Amino acid sequence: MPRHSTITPEVESKILWFSDLGLTTRKIARYVHRSHVTVWRVLQARRKQLSVTKQTVTELAPTRDLSVEVSRYQPAMRSSFGGGLGAGTPQNIVNKAVKDNSKSKDFMQFRQARWQLCNLISEKKLNPLENKFREALKKRVSALGFDSSSDNDIQFGQLNDMAAVGLAALRIAGEQKRKLKIQKLVDASILYRRPDWKAKLEESKRRLRCGRCRRQRSFLKNKDGKSVTCLACGLETPVEKARFHISIRRLDPVYVDLVHSAVVQKECA
């Protein structure tokens, strides 16, 4: 019978963490409840991996072409989290900060302290409402057929303006911004830059009142046009007997006026 390894990723992580603290293999084996040989094998595998990585990096020294980098440069959009300033603090920096400020060598205490630090320095939590607006804006424009990650200069500029005016409206609202409905603000911001999308923004949505599910469901109209099929349970219902719920999404004039005020006051500059 083949032997199955008992080294899970969690156990391996503990072994490497204790090793970074300077503990001997025998002490690590006692802490993780594994044999001294098992710990030694994990550490050997790590040394080989680091050796191969170092050799590969040395052989493949990166070459930079500044002309290409300049031609491909694109500034961070207002819709980017943290203003596009990187992808957060590197994990090794976070781990080192926790180790340097903790006298305990207990793994669980380390994990808890690390979680608290990551929660504290999370860039998305510095401005939660603004980031909620950014996320809602990207989802909304994508649903309207707009590529929010496009390198197209026109789309890039339009999305940047939408984000800028929406964020400016939040600043104007001040302490009252927490009472604003983000979805309505998103629609008003889109309308400011793309007034031709007014019909798209004021869309109507029809959902089937399924007799089997007893809920509102998405549906598919059959080719003959005489019946509809519930996409949840597959129930087929004649059109004359089917019941629908129609909801209409309207632009709120209060939010349109708020965005207009932001533009007039030049707060989005």
Q: Where are the domains of the chain?
A: 9-59, 87-126, 204-248
Chain segment 149-158, per-residue pLDDT in tens: 655 556 777 8
Token pair 């989802």 is at which residue? 139
Mean pLDDT across the chain, nearest whole number?
78
Task: Report how far residue 183's alpha carbon sits from residue 249's, in angstroms, rounded to the nearest whole number.
Answer: 10
For residue 30, what pLDDT band results from cuts at 50, 70 and 90?
confident
Of residues 148 and 140, the one with the higher pLDDT is 140
The model's pTM = 0.49
DSSP 8-state secondary structure symbol assigned to residue 141: H
Answer yes or no: is pLDDT of 164 > 80. yes
- Give the burial string for 158-185 (b: 16+ CB within 10 Å, else e): bbbbbbbbbbbbbebbeeebeebebbbb
